[in-house]
Amino acid sequence: MTTATQFERQQTKILANREPKSGALLLLESIAAQGVDTIFGYPGGAIMPVYDVLPKVTSLRHILCRHEQGCGMAAIGYARATGKTGTAFATSGPGATNLVTAIADAYLDSVPVVFVTGQVTSDLMGTDAFQEVDIFGITLPIVKHSYIARDPADLPGMVAEAYFIAAEGRPGPVLIDLPKDVANALTTERHKWRPYPKIKPEMGQSDYISKAEDLIKKSKKPLFYIGGGIAQGDGVQELRDLVDRTNIPVVSTLKGLGSLPSDHPSFLGMLGMHGLKAANYAVQECDLLIVAGARFDDRATGKLDTFAPNAKVIHLDIDIAEINKLRKTDVYLDGSLKKNLAALNPGEAQCENWRHICFSRRDEHEWDYKSPIENMKTGGVYAPKLLHDLSRRVDRSAIITCDVGQHQMWVAQHCYFDNPKDHITSGGLGTMGFGLPAGLGAKLGAPNRTVITVSGDGSIMMNIQELATLFRYDIPLKIVLLDNSALGMVRQWQEVFFEKNYSEVNLDDNPDFAMVAKAFQIDAFTITKGDEVDDGIERLLSATGPILMHVKIDTYENVWPLVPPGRSNADMMER
């Protein structure tokens, strides 16, 4: 993100340059001035002026994805792997509407991405012109802010403000809609930028800090409930220091995984619908819930009025709108998570018996990777063990991007994460087709790290065209495709809650995915037996280019535990 000093220098330079420039060139130069080096995009008629001058801005690397949704998801993966703001381009009409799912994904997971869409000329806007849609209006509920450019001289300031807004506070997507005539127009003017917004999230009030510390000191069964806001608020180290100071047990949401290393002695695992038993039981029995960067999402809480029923609540969040939205708090600390976590210093919690209960239960319910394999008459692949073994054999700096479905929950339950940037998945929106483009975006953002995408046979078909992007740019992404010939999570719910009425979930006519990958000139192979897993993992990890490991698994293998909808997290169904 641009600092105030850098902003002033850029303003002086831009205002001093009176060379005639088009809106399209001003847009690109202003984006480059924000430190952007990578854009994911797809050209078309309305945005063609931008692509016409793109070769002139040599500091920008453009990645041509094969679908605008792929562009948006790749920009999200890039942003989440790097901590920078992502950038995606598309043309008007269907190009813009194909970005909508990615915009919504970024909004619900609070990811900073600037989306730039071409638009028909200003005189045609509102006439139902060819490839015209009101993308500004369509996306109003799912953006942090949006613009329609009306004057090319406004673009330098507009771009700078867009990148600032996307990244400040609670991050999110920002849209710039650029009419074609504004992109083409030449101007010598450079409108003075608005005063740089100086927003500095502060620490909570000192008396509230004291009240929170007092609650922690008096608690007999305290528990940290952490979410994605920890990473987004740059509070990972401060959280770890606080946990070590207090020795309080910790549970995490899906997006909070990695904020505390998976093997940390205080970590009980993910909570919620597919949370681990030790984590869910701890929430139900605690007397104090210290919520940091989480928002009481329904997948985490189960039936809300039964969630942590005996607990007082301390809630830390940068977004004041989340405080008291779903659960009344006893003490809240809004503002900077980083500062608030650092400020809390209640000393070691006096809860030795509670710690013993929590950690004994964690040991008691430790996952058994052996028994399910022994019970498999076919000698097939047990997906949780494959993911567990893969996660332990890859280097600890590896990134795993994930699609949505059963495999997503298995990754969350069984893979090791040392940092929240190591785990990139679609949380709030639950977007199938996310994993492959997010993986290529993450790999481009973090080229020196191993990046693995875990997908399912349903999910990968939604953006499988991005295999062509892997080949074009030789992006060495490693893909693990778990193929159960079904829409697995929907099939599981139909089995458990709809009397095995398997309606429209059968995918047994899938293509041979290894052959499909090879058709895209991607190395690929298939494994079907448990005794092939070790060699398969070795081949996957040793590959120097993009590679796909197609893994056939049992259609009827389910994700456990499972909290039924409308039930307390204590009511977990098991295998």
Active-site positions read 68, 130-131, 180, 489
Q: What are the CA-CA distances from residue 457 to residues 240, 510, 553 (Å)? A: 37, 8, 11
Q: CA-CA distance, 540 to 454, in Å (whole number)?
A: 12
Within 124-237, strands assigned E span 145-148, 173-179, 186-187, 222-226
Which residues are registered as beta bridge partners of 226? 252, 292
Q: Which helix (H) or strand (E) segment is 251 a member of?
A: strand 250-252
**For residue 235, what are its two tokens?**
């509070």
- Contact present, 572 and 562 (Cβ < 8 Å): yes
- Contact present, 491 and 456 (Cβ < 8 Å): no
Phi/psi of residue 99, nearest 5 degrees: -85, -15
DSSP string, 82-93: HSSPEEEEE-ST
Unique residue bearing structure tokens 């620490």: 203
Q: CA-CA distance, 387 to 383, in Å (whole number)?
A: 6
Nearest CA to 389 out of 531, 556, 259 is that of 531
> Does residue 141 sit in helix, strand or coil?
helix
Q: Which helix (H) or strand (E) segment is 479 a member of?
A: strand 478-483
**For residue 26, what are its two tokens?**
């001003």
Q: What are the CA-CA distances from residue 224 to residues 289, 311, 322, 353 (Å)? A: 6, 12, 17, 16
In single-letter form, the type of residue at position 413 comes to Q
